[in-house]
């Protein structure tokens, strides 16, 4: 049985979020939660929220399922749309700011 959660349009670059996602790939659900709570990065909060959502989806599909039986089958962080903004610079010029977003996909499974 698989449970999936998708978190779209998160205001962090995919490159930064992938650093945290790589740390928990393949872990069991409780281990991943412990690791994410210990990592001092913005991405860890965003991934933790998606992980909890996937866990809740798994509980909804199969109510008698134990959390310790779940593990992270797949976790991906992809680029989302980029917001383009401008910042005023000297001599009437402007420079572009790219505010990047990402989408986080977490798939939990209880089968090996």
Q: How far is CA 64 from the centre of its chain?
A: 26
DSSP 105: E
Residues in CB range of 64: below 8 A, 6 or more apart: none
- CATH for the 2-109 domain, from 1.10.150.20, 3.90.180.10, 3.30.830.10, 3.90.470.10: 3.90.470.10
Q: What was the pLDDT predicted at 56? A: 96
Q: Taking a C-beta distance cutoff of 8 angstroms, is the pair 23, 65 a contact? A: no
The answer to whether 75 and 24 have CB atoms below 8 angstroms apart is yes
Rounded to two decimals, the pTM is 0.91
- Return the pLDDT at 111: 80
User: Is there a contact between 20 and 41 (Cβ–Cβ < 8 Å)?
Assistant: yes
Amino acid 22: pLDDT: 96
DSSP string computed for 3-54 = EEEEEEEESS-HHHHHHHHHHHTT-BHHHHHHHHHH--SHHHHHHHHHHHHH
pLDDT in tens, the chain (112 residues): 999 999 999 999 999 999 999 999 999 999 999 999 999 999 999 999 999 999 999 999 999 999 899 999 999 999 999 999 999 999 999 999 999 999 999 999 998 6
Distance CA 81, CA 72 (A): 26
């Amino acid at each position: 049985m698989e449970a999936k959660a998708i978190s779209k349009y998160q205001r962090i670059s995919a490159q930064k979020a992938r650093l945290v996602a790589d740390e928990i790939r393949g872990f069991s659900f409780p281990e991943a939660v412990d690791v994410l709570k210990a990592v001092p990065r913005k991405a860890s909060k965003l991934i933790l929220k998606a992980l909890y959502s996937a866990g809740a989806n798994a509980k909804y599909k199969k109510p008698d399922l134990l959390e310790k039986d779940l593990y992270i089958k797949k976790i991906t962080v992809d680029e989302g749309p980029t917001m383009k903004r401008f910042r005023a610079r000297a001599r009437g010029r402007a420079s572009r700011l790219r505010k990047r977003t990402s989408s986080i996909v977490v798939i939990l499974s209880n089968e090996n």
